[in-house]
Structure 1
Amino acid sequence: MVNLQTFAGARVLITGGLGFIGSNLAHRLVELGANVTLVDSLIPEYGGNLYNIAGIEDRVRVNIADVRDEYSMNYLVQGQDVLFNLAGQTSHLDSMRNPYIDLDINCRAQLSILEACRKHNPGITVVYASTRQIYGKPNYLPVDERHLLHPVDVNGINKMAGEWYHILYNNVYGIRACALRLTNTYGPRMRVKDARQTFLGIWIRNVIEGKPIQVWGDGSQLRDFTYIDDCVDALLLAALHPAASGQIFNLGGLEVISLRDLAALTVEVAGGGSFEIIPYPADRKPIDIGDYYADDRRIRTMLGWQPRIDLRTGLARTIAFYREHRHHYWDVQVEGV
């Protein structure tokens, strides 16, 4: 059984550390007594937000740097015990509009990070945040790790390459690395000012502002969702468990729900609001994956991970967070301040 108290005194580096997942992970690691360094570029189009570390800002080290900067990464990986490699370009639409930027961040930069580890800290443990997007349109459900990979956008292709660079460096160079294929992670501190990170973020913003939630298509598409606390649990387990080395794991959630029902649940939990079913925007339809939900038995069996937060509870916590802190997430732009 993995003991998370092992992180006490550990030196931990988080790329994308001021973003959604990275900052929530940082809060947990600080509670566990880790020495945490956060790396983030604070580029406005991405998820970094200094308010995400409110309450722990004096207990973490923040380095404003871009993972594409090889010299910075060569320095930052030195002396670290664990690297949670979470930095990335997450917008599927942006990847189609600006494929070279996506290639730079999600592919080339990942190779540079791994080279920095190989040259300057080969004993480090690396946990990489991959995505279910690399599966593309599922051939069967639920989707397990043996499913064919056929991404439907540039982002999925580059994330797939980034994932496999990590597995290659594990297998060839002995750098302990694994990948978690995340699916619809949501919760406090996620980007909600637009849909670049997750559609659920803009849904929550709209319901709080009294605007209708827009459900694209017919609303029958099935999805599963991982609450951020459960995602953080999985990242921590993957970093510590000996069986994780060289492995790839799906993350899922406790329930599968249609987007129409999710919109209705969001309105119900918020205590008001509405939703509307509208046709797909022309630029979105070609990269839609239809139904998707994960078979995550592998991580449950091998690492002992178990999601704990149901969708209703997670939505309630998330909506309450943004009602209290909305000023820091969309009324003014604090990113880069």
Structure 2
Amino acid sequence: MSYKKKSVLITGGLGFIGSNLARALVRLGADVTVVDSLVPQYGGNIFNIRDIAAQVVVNICDVRDPYAMPYLLKDKDYLFNLAGQTSHLDSMTDPRTDLEINVSAQLSILEACRKVNPGIKIVFASTRQLYGKPEYLPVDEKHPIRPVDVNGINKLAGEWYHLLYNNVYGIRACALRLTNTYGPGMRVKDARQTFLGIWVRQLIDGEAIKVYGDGAQLRDFNYVDDCVEALLLAGASEEANGRVYNLGGGEVVGLKELAEMMVALVPGGKYELIPFPPERKAIDIGDYYGNFDLIRSELGWEPKVGLHEGLKKTVQYYRQYRTHYW
């Protein structure tokens, strides 16, 4: 992967995955610009780039800004398009904002690329949520797509716009359907980004981790370093153009088992099973874990960080830096 001296734009670059990606690109010698709105209910946090702040250009603006984005996209070699509204519940209570960020803004970005920089390479962060309730496991890219919430529908539209512009206009683009990504830098104030974030906070605060239902729901997880590696491989690969890839974890665990792993990391840690809130039960997808054979065979990606190791690193990070995230 040669990103040396390449000009890279990361939307959502002060967020969880974006900041970790920026760090990796700085190490690879890229010229990195990060864009983030710092809207409070989303994941942006300036502390996420504290160690590389002098090595990146930071632009505080919203991807919905039709004037700033063409300017920022001009002359960039790569766009890692990570900005999005990720909360499933928020998408149901405020569907229009979800539509603006996950659909309208994506179309505006692609139009800007078509007009000012058709030679750019784009990697779009999509989600496994758009599959809905799995018909079979593990879920591969051929699985039927039946989103169970507004967020899933809008992320699907954003993904398909990227593929359309690849196929029709030759703007090289691909999409990665991310699964539960976790690690240092994730939002832990609430469950807007991932339920693991609020679990980490509850654990460190000495509260019981709240596990919905019987805790038997199966999930797979990716430590953020593995997710970043997939993004970089997709960006560097011409074979990835026009493709959609699932990410997935090497380990599949039930949520009760996951809670047990986490409480073992902190003396006095505890968890409790609680009934599903009705609004969450209505959009719960049951068991999910992904088949990532396609990205493994075409790009050589597979997860390297084990779940226990990743959870341990994550808990240590937030114990050290909790004041910047609580």
TM band (smaller chain): over 0.9
Q: Does the Cα contact within 8 Å between 1:270 and 1:316 map onto a contact in 2?
A: no
TM-score (norm 2): 0.99
Kindly provide the amino acid, as one letter, of the partner of residue 205 in structure 2: E
1:310-330 Cα shifts (integer Å, max 9, x gaps) = 000000000000000001001
Q: CA deviation at 1:270?
A: 2.7
Which letter does structure 1 place at the counterpart of 2:133? K
Write the distance in 1 (CA, Å) between the matches of 2:139 and 2:299: 19
* Contact preservation (8 Å) 1:219, 1:259: yes
What is the match of residue 184 of structure 2?
188
Query: CA separation in 1, counterparts of 2:254 and 2:139?
Result: 16
Q: Distance in 1 between matches of 2:303 and 2:217?
A: 22
What is the alpha-carbon distance in structure 2 between the residues aligned to residue 23 and residue 237 of structure 1? 17
Displacement, 1:272? 3.1
Deviations 1:193-243 (A, max 9, x none): 110000000001110110000000110000000000000000000000111
> Are 1:230 and 2:229 an aligned pair?
no
Deviation of 1:306 after TM superposition, in Å, equals 1.6
Correspondence 1:170 to 2:166:
yes
- Please tell me whether residue 209 in structure 1 is matched to residue 205 in structure 2: yes
- Equivalent AA in structure 2 for residue 207 of structure 1: L
| 1:310 maps to which of 295, 301, 306 | 306
SS at match of 2:68: helix
Letter in 2 for 1:222: L
Secondary structure of the structure 1 residue equivalent to 2:305: coil
Structure 1 residue 296, shift from structure 2 partner: 0.4
Q: Which of 17, 23, 44 is residue 19 of structure 2 equivalent to?
A: 23
- Cα distance in 2, alignment partners of residues 271 and 307 from structure 1: 29
Distance 2:226 2:58 in 1: 24
Q: In 2, distance between residues paired with 1:321 and 1:8? A: 29
1:275 maps to: 271
Identity of aligned residues (%): 66
Q: Which runs of 4+ in 1 moved over 4 A?
A: none
SS of corresponding position for 1:254: coil
Which whole-Å CA distance do the structure 1 matches of 2:283 and 2:202 have between them? 23
SS in structure 2 of the partner of residue 235 of structure 1:
helix
2:228 aligned with 1:243, yes or no? no
CA distance in 2, matches of 1:315, 1:139: 29
Amino acid at match of 2:285: I
Supply the distance in 1 between the matched residues of 2:69 and 2:228 (Cα, whole angstroms): 23
**Which residue in the other structure is 2:44 paired with?**
48
Counting only pairs closer than 5 Å after superposition, residues 1-337 of structure 1 correspond to structure 2 as 4=1, 6-330=2-326
Give the deviation of 1:269 after TM superposition.
Answer: 2.2
Q: CA deviation at 1:271?
A: 3.5
Structure 1 length as normaliser, TM-score?
0.96
Amino acid at match of 1:156: G
Deviation at 1:56, TM superposition (A): 0.5
User: What is the identity, as a one-letter code, of the residue corresponding to 2:252?
Assistant: V
CA distance in 2, matches of 1:52, 1:70: 26
User: Residues of 2 paired with 1:270 and 1:244: CA distance?
Assistant: 41
Root mean square deviation, CA, Å:
0.5
Aligned equivalents of 1:57, 1:253: Cα separation in 2? 31
Whole-Å separation in 2 of the counterparts to 1:269 and 1:131: 29
1:75, distance to aligned residue in structure 2 (A): 0.5
Deviation of residue 282 (structure 1)? 1.3
Q: Which runs of 5+ in 1 are unaligned?
A: 331-337
* CA contact 1:191–1:329 (8 Å) conserved in 2: yes
Distance 1:271 1:121 in 2: 53
Per-residue Cα deviation, 1:169-209 (whole angstroms, up to 9, x for no partner)? 00000000000000000000000011000000000111011
Give the Cα–Cα distance (whole angstroms) in 2 for the partners of residues 30 and 267 of structure 1.
Answer: 35
Structure 2 residues not aligned, in runs of 5+: none
Secondary structure of the 1:320 match is helix
Other structure's SS at 1:243 match: coil
Deviation, 1:254, is: 1.3
Asked if the contact 1:269–1:312 (Cα under 8 Å) also holds between the matched residues in 2, the reply is no
